[in-house]
């Protein structure tokens, strides 16, 4: 029996159903990609073994990132961090919800902390300024340049995503999760995992934007049925679209639980150039 014509020869590049089209890359594009990668310490850090001296340099880069963050954020006061997408403009309903939530957080006396970028982050910082409260951002340095939003009293720009994420959690007594993409999911589950494993205290987590989350809630219930999480793990989350309910939850689980009104702030050192972050009067 003769062989099928389809098997007589190798398929042309890009013609097989499972193959992506072959794209010709110019030398200029190769150089541009290499330059892009050279600007990312994380690319080298996560690429496997390096020369010993290079790994030592990368370790120093991480330590420098942490120290820069510690100095910038040490006196910002108790924070609530708002996570969410950078892609919503000010006309979007989630932008307005985040702005209202930022204002409400500021009125409670918290400092509003975000990733410092546009979208939901900008909205929450803007809400804090609407309420004449404190507003800070922990931004990330990227080759294509994500600039900080204009509603910040203080900001710090990090080189490493994981350092930035640590700082966003370190100074916060609660987390508000707005609709977002991969980065928001990463930040949300990082916070949940740290609380679940008791690496940090049981800080309140509020998830807002109910129309965005039904599949996520269903999947969490699926995890519960599969015994990969416990019933009390779902109790860590407050689902609501109400700013008032969110604030009541923060009041009960953050202010009362941790006695923030009784908290003493660290002493500042004029010799080290340390400054407090004061709200507008």
CA nearest to 170, candidates 197, 190, 150, 148:
190
Distance CA(240)–CA(280), nearest Å, equals: 30
For 118-135, what is each residue's pLDDT tens digit?
Answer: 999 999 999 999 999 999
Share of the chain above pLDDT 90, in %: 64
For 126-174, what is each residue's pLDDT tens digit?
Answer: 999 999 999 999 998 876 656 789 999 999 999 899 999 999 999 999 9
Q: In order of start, what are the domains of the chain with their CATH numbers?
A: 76-262 (3.40.50.450)
For 230-269, what is each residue's pLDDT tens digit?
Answer: 999 999 999 999 999 999 999 999 887 777 754 455 666 6
Distance CA(197)–CA(184), nearest Å, equals: 20
pLDDT of residue 147: 77
Beta-carbon contacts of 14 under 8 Å, excluding residues fewer than 6 positions away, are: 20, 21, 22
């Amino acid at each position: 029996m003769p062989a099928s014509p389809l098997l007589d020869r190798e398929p042309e590049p890009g013609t097989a159903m499972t193959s992506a089209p072959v794209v010709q890359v110019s030398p200029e594009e190769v150089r541009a990609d290499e330059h892009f990668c050279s600007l990312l310490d994380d690319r080298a850090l996560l690429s496997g073994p390096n020369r010993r001296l290079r790994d030592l340099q990368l370790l120093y880069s991480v330590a420098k990132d942490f120290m820069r963050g510690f100095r910038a954020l040490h006196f910002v006061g108790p924070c609530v961090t708002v996570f969410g997408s950078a892609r919503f403009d000010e006309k979007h309903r989630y932008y307005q919800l985040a702005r209202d939530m930022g204002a409400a957080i500021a009125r409670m006396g918290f400092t509003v902390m975000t990733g410092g970028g546009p979208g939901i982050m900008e909205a929450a910082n803007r809400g804090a300024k609407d309420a004449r409260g404190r507003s800070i951002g922990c931004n990330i340095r990227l080759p294509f340049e994500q600039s900080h939003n204009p509603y910040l009293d203080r900001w710090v720009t990090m080189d490493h995503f994981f350092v930035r994420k640590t700082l966003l959690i370190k100074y916060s007594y609660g987390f508000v999760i707005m609709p977002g993409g991969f980065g928001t999911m990463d930040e949300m589950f990082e916070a949940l995992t740290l609380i679940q494993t008791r690496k940090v205290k049981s800080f309140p987590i509020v998830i807002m934007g109910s129309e965005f989350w039904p599949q996520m809630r269903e999947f969490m219930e699926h995890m519960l049925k599969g015994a990969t999480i416990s019933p009390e793990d779902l109790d860590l989350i407050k689902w609501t679209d109400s700013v008032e309910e969110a604030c009541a939850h923060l009041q009960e689980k953050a202010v009362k639980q941790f006695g923030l009104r009784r908290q003493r702030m660290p002493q500042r050192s004029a010799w080290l150039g340390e400054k407090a972050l004061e709200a507008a009067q």
